Amino acid sequence: MFESIKDEYLDYMRHEKGLTPNTLDAYKRDMLQFKEYLLKNNIDDIRDVNKTSIITYLMYLQRDGKAISTISRNLASIRCFYQYLLANKLIDEDPTFNLSSPKPQRKLPNILTREEVDLFLAQPDPTNYIGARDKAMLELLYATGIRASEMIALDLDELDLEFKYLYLNKANFNERVIPIGSIALKYLKNYVFNYREEVLTNQDEAALFLNYNGNRLTRQGFWKIIKQYSKKLSIDKKITPQILRHSFAAHLLENGADIKTVQEILGHSDISTTQIYAFVTDNRKLKDVYDNSHPRA
């Protein structure tokens, strides 16, 4: 049946749907490949295809190593064809109805080991202004998992050194209250009480972290700081503020924190975003068990 209406269908897709030649060629290839699959499985009439046939075909494409985007496009091609057949009363029902495209697998975030974090955080010298500021920033970043943009936007009054809390977005209803660990607290106190005044030129400056001119540190300046310290390490990983945030979340989960708490600290609106760190943690635990148990690991 496909051969008999192929040209009419492709004309419809070209003129009515306005597909480009390249997209049209891709749809045509997809349908020819689907037809070959059906013939190999003893389905010689495209009207005999049901939902199970299509699902099985999509699974076949997956086993064959096709990318999620390719599988999704194949389903779109098949769906367009059957919608055309249905609209022209050549079939009674669309077998692609309610079939969802496969979701792309989320890439697992890169994280640092706790040893790598320790090496990285040990880089700044906290006995001078630059080192004290950088040490306080990096320790706070890893201790709280905040974003680089949130770090730069911090004001001095959002830091409660007495009760050991950080108040993010204090001025609006999206406020997050994050506890600060003892090590980060130690270096924050060192910076605030011993060094911040060195470059402060305007007593009304609200920013917590300042550049040499006494102004709020910029995002670009912060990234340069991260890059500068990461270059000094012999770690075959690109270190960014985001990777420190990932590492913070994964290490919390590794040490028994519940995922809901981690979600709240990170400020994720959807818990599925946080769950990706659980996969990282589980994979690392699996590898550790294998390495410690297998005689040839």
pLDDT digits (tens, 9 = 90+) for 24-75: 888 889 988 998 999 999 988 888 899 999 999 998 998 888 888 888 889 9
Q: Are residues 124 and 45 located together in one domain of the fold? A: no
Do both 271 and 155 map to the same domain?
yes
The residue range of the domain holding 259 is: 114-293
The Cα–Cα gap between 152 and 137 comes to 9
In the block, residue with structure tokens 């007593």: 203
Residue in 248, 250, 263, 124 with CA at minimum distance from that of residue 195: 124
Q: How far is 33 from 51, CA to CA, in rounded Å?
A: 17
**Are 267 and 136 part of one and the same domain?**
yes
Task: Based on the fold, state whether residues 157 and 199 are members of the same structural domain.
Answer: yes
**pLDDT value of position 106:** 63
The CATH number given to whatever domain includes residue 67 is 1.10.150.130
For residue 68, CA distances in Å to 31, 58, 265 come to: 17, 10, 32
Burial 99-111 (b: 16+ CB within 10 A, else e): eeeeeeeeeebeb
Q: How far apart are CA 236 and CA 124, in angstroms?
A: 20
Percent of the chain scoring above 90 in pLDDT = 45
Number of domains the chain is built from: 2
Cα 3 to Cα 27: distance, rounded to the nearest angstrom:
14
Inside any domain, residue 79 = yes
Token digits for 120?
Answer: 């990285």
Q: What would the pLDDT profile of 233-268 be if each residue is shown by its tens digit? A: 878 888 999 999 999 998 988 888 888 888 889 988
Domain CATH code at residue 177: 1.10.443.10
Write down the pTM of the prediction. Answer: 0.62
